[in-house]
Structure 1
Amino acid sequence: MVDKQKGDLIMKQTTLIVIVAALFLCCMCVPVGAIIQEVTLKGTVATLNQPKNMLTIEHPQQYGCSYPATGAPVCTYTPMSVEVLTGTVPDPAVFSVFTNGDPVVATSIGGAGETWITLAKLFGSRPNEEFVTDIVGDFSTIPTPLMGNYALDATTVPDCAACTGTTCTAQSSNVKVMSEGREVFAQALKPGETLNYNGRNDGSSVAVTFVKGQALSSSCPGKAGMIGPQAVSVYIIKVVPPISAAQVDIRTATTTRPDEALRTAAPTVATTSSPAMIPTTKSGMLPLAAIGAIGLAGLILVMRKE
């Protein structure tokens, strides 16, 4: 009898340790932000309603990736079940950058449409020719590369006296310009300031205006480990393509990018209706939260039995 009681006690203690360890791991694995779903899609600008600060995209296709057992992820656009999606724009500059009929990639927060946090204008009519020339919003949410083999990176700096939960007002943004994979220019921008780079001698240039933004509060004293929405910022970006951005393939008489001239390139992003695709969102914390809730329930149950 005594041995049985000891065995039960050891089992309860072991269960308690496992539950506490699971809860600890959940807390350690959960990122500071990124709990509000983001949806990225591609389509065509249907209407712009400046008085209501709204933009409508027609024939939307949602971006997502599948992850095979071996090899790199396969990312595609899948037609959605709706014909149009409407949302508020991230900045009034949208109405001077975009017009009806423009092909765009857009990202919304909190679901498909309703609130656009990024709108990017596409250059090129074929999948393997799609590049971005203009962006209004948070460029980090757009999977399509910039025109001219440019890339951008930005780190916002929080104003630790202006924080709410996991986000603070950004007092500045440290922006880097990459050309052909190398950093070629960097500048710290305060809200309203603009960076300009045109150092390649090929007629191309990049202009980045930091309109406003947020930064994660985790770097501020006493704010580490908080859980909440991701930081979102607004930039206005204009890429002027190189002079040789388009030329005629003499074999096919079609206009191609310089790196496609006299050869056929396989599309890097395809349109498909594969049901196995996983939409790319930033709501990955939800499964971890569920695990934490289950662990907490188990802990309460064990304590009651004791």
Structure 2
Amino acid sequence: MKPKTLVIVCSALLILTFCMIPAGAVILEVTVRGTIADLSPADNTLTIAGPSQYGCDFGSGTSEPVCSWTPMNITTLTGTVPDAAAFQVFARNDTVVAVSLGGTGGTWIALAKTYSTGTATDYATDEVGNIGSLPTPLIGDYTVSAVTVPDCSACTGTSCTAVSSNVTISSGQMTVAQKVLRPGESLFFKGRNDDSSVNVTFVNGQALADACPGNAGLIGGVQPVSDYIVRVVPPVGMNTAAMASPAEPVSGVPSATTTTPQSSLPSAVLSVLGLAIAAIAACRIRE
């Protein structure tokens, strides 16, 4: 094969290879639940005992997925907390749902303090970190949703620093409070007649870069991760001493200090890079 033709073939092969990166490729999020065995402000870690992993069976895709918790064959899992505020929210022996990025443990990107109602569903009274990753519903029939807005002058790859977050609090199917929050700002709602309330603080976060000019259709990359602190005071009929007040603060721990989760390339991207290397090697052999 002529050198010029070989270059064209190799270039086409590389382009085709990179086109195989799926749109919106993300790093796997692993969700577990268990009991808090240890909290270490010095190491910035939280350890879960007796973890079970959350998973869903989607079947053929024609019916609702069946989701369940499966006990893991390990005794404990340890990960860094998404925000030091976790040490004021959680205490040993609390039940918790935790989400890690890229594998089990290592780095928790979201934590939920849960309360069992004696039914099949547990409810969260407190959430810390990337709240959109948590499958556990909030207590009191509340929901909190948030959409971050990118700072288009501060982007790396497919993610940008979030300049703000549009936060919505719903009671049942009705929106009861909504506000655009800047980092460090909060939204508070107490408008029902059952003495319940919700407070949401947007600490800081990330947003997808595809909303920025020139980035439409940008593919691949790591999903954005943000840090929120959510506190729900349950309806008076559900109130208990354990739920009425947060855990005792750990001495010397700030109330809202953020740590940035460490991330790596998604496995899909790594696979494509491997194919690209193989293509280059094949072209060199041809030469």
Q: Structure 2 length normalisation: TM-score?
A: 0.77
Alignment coverage as a number of residue pairs: 253
Quickly say closer, same or farther: Cα 1:67–1:159, change in 2 above 3 A.
same
CA contact (8 A) 2:23 2:219 kept: no
Shift of 1:39: 0.6
CA contact (8 A) 1:23 1:296 kept: no
C-alpha distance after superposition, 1:140-197 (max 9, x if no partner): 0110100011111111011111111111111110001111122121001111111001
Find out whether 1:227 has 2:220 as its counterpart: yes
C-alpha distance after superposition, 1:42-88 (max 9, x if no partner): 00100000111111001000000112235211001111111001111
CA contact (8 A) 1:131 1:146 kept: yes
Mapped partners of 2:119, 2:148: distance in 1: 32
- Residue identity in the other structure for 1:68: G
Match of 1:51 among 21, 42, 55: 42
- Residue identity in the other structure for 2:230: I
Match of 1:119 among 111, 119, 123: 111
Structure 1 unaligned regions, length at least 5: 1-18, 248-282
Aligned-residue Cα RMSD (Å) equals 3.3
Which residue pairs with 1:106 in the alignment? 98
Quickly say closer, same or farther: Cα 1:87–1:127, change in 2 above 3 A.
farther
Mapped partners of 2:74, 2:209: distance in 1: 37
- Residue identity in the other structure for 1:58: A
Mapped partners of 1:23, 1:187: distance in 2: 43
Mapped partners of 2:57, 2:219: distance in 1: 31
Runs of 4 or more, structure 1, over 3 Å off, are 22-27, 285-298
Quickly say closer, same or farther: Cα 1:226–1:59, change in 2 above 3 A.
same
Structure 2 unaligned regions, length at least 5: 1-12, 241-263
Which residue pairs with 2:165 in the alignment? 173
SS at match of 2:195: coil
Mapped partners of 1:113, 1:217: distance in 2: 28
Map 1:67-86; keep pairs closer than 5 Å. 67-69=58-60, 70-86=62-78
Which residue pairs with 1:201 in the alignment? 193
- Residue identity in the other structure for 1:64: G
Find out whether 1:245 has 2:208 as its counterpart: no
Quickly say closer, same or farther: Cα 1:72–1:228, change in 2 above 3 A.
same
Map 1:157-168; keep pairs closer than 5 Å. 157-168=149-160
Shift of 1:230: 0.8
SS at match of 2:237: coil
Quickly say closer, same or farther: Cα 1:287–1:90, change in 2 above 3 A.
closer
Percent of pairs with identical residues: 48
Q: Structure 1 length normalisation: TM-score?
A: 0.72
Quickly say closer, same or farther: Cα 1:139–1:293, change in 2 above 3 A.
same
- Residue identity in the other structure for 1:156: T
